[in-house]
Amino acid sequence: MLRKTVAKVTTLEAAAKVGGVSGRDLVTALRQAAGQPMEEFAEAGEEAPEPEWVREGTVVETIDADAMLAAGEVPLGTVVAAAGRLSAGSLVKVTSGFRPQPLIEALRNAGRRVHCSQEGPERFVTFIARKPEG
Q: What are the phi and psi torsion angles at 88 (to 5°)?
A: -60, 130
pTM comes to 0.68
Binning pLDDT at 50, 70 and 90, where does residue 111 land? very high
Hey, what amino acid is at 38? Answer: M
End-to-end CA distance of the chain: 52
Distance of CA 37 to the CA centre of its chain: 13
Which of 74, 72, 117, 78 has its CA nearest to residue 99? 117
Task: Please check the confidence at residue 1 and state whether its pLDDT lies above 70.
Answer: no
Lowest mean pLDDT: which of 2-11, 32-41, 112-121, 122-131?
32-41
Quote the percentage of the chain above a pLDDT of 70: 72
